[in-house]
Amino acid sequence: MLKRLITVSLCLLAVTLSGFAQTKKSTMKKAAAGPVPDKAALQKVWDGWSTLDPANVAKYYATGPHTFFDIAPLKYNSWDEYEKGVKGVLAGYKSAKFTVNDDAVIHPQGDLVWATATIHEEMTTKAGKVEMGNFRWTVIWENEDGKWLVVHEHVSAPLQ
C-alpha cells in the first residue's frame, strides 16, 4: 500500500512539475498586421531586387541579428551584412529580372508566414552576357509592430 501511495504521489508531482515547465506565451501583444504576405508581396520583393539596389528592398527586411542565406557567400548574420555583401555581387550586372514562379506556396502561422517558391532569373552582366535560370527561395516573414518583415531567407541554386 505504501509503495502504491509513493508511486501515485510521484506521478502527481511529475504532472504538476510538467505544468510549470511549459513555456509561457508572450504577454506582449503585437499590433495587427495587414494581410499576410501573398504571391504579389513575394513578387514585390523580387521586383525590388530587379533594380540591383538592395536599398530598394530594405523595407521588406528586419534589421538586427537575423540570418540570411544567399547563393554566395555562405550566410549573412544581419540585414546590414546582407546589404553590403550583395552590393558587391550585383555590381557586376547592368540589369536583372526576377519572376516568382507558379509553384509559390505560402503558409500563415499566426505572427509568422513561411513561403517557398522557385524564382526565374534573367540577369545581364556589364559585359553583356545574359544569364538565365531558376533558383529556390524559402522566406520567413514575421509580424513586427504591425508590419510583415523578412526575418530569414534562404536562396539556393541546384548543382549543375
**Does 4 map to a domain?**
no
pLDDT confidence of 95, banded at 50, 70, 90? very high
Residue at 25 is within a domain: no
**pTM score:** 0.77
Question: Number of structural domains, the chain?
Answer: 1
Q: Is the pLDDT of residue 102 over 90?
A: yes
pLDDT of 51-88, one tens digit each?
A: 999 999 999 999 989 998 887 777 899 999 999 999 98
In 10 A of CB 143, how many CB atoms?
18
Residue 16: pLDDT above 70?
no
7 within domain boundaries: no
Read off the pLDDT of residues 110-125 as tens digits, 9 standing for 90 and up: 999 999 999 999 999 9
Say which CATH number the domain at 79 has: 3.10.450.50
Q: Indicate the DSSP class of residue 75.
A: -
User: Is residue 22, in this structure, part of any structural domain at all?
Assistant: no
Find out whether 96 and 122 touch, Cβ atoms under 8 Å. yes
The domain of 145 spans 35-156
d(CA 71, CA 155): 6
Q: In whole angstroms, give the CA distance from residue 56 to residue 50.
A: 9
Tell whether 16 is covered by a domain: no
122 occurs within a structural domain: yes
- Residue 159 pLDDT: 82
User: Does 123 reside within a domain?
Assistant: yes
Residue type, 25: K
- Residues 6 or more apart whose Cβ sits within 8 Å of residue 100: 39, 42, 43, 46, 117, 119, 137
Within a domain: residue 15? Answer: no
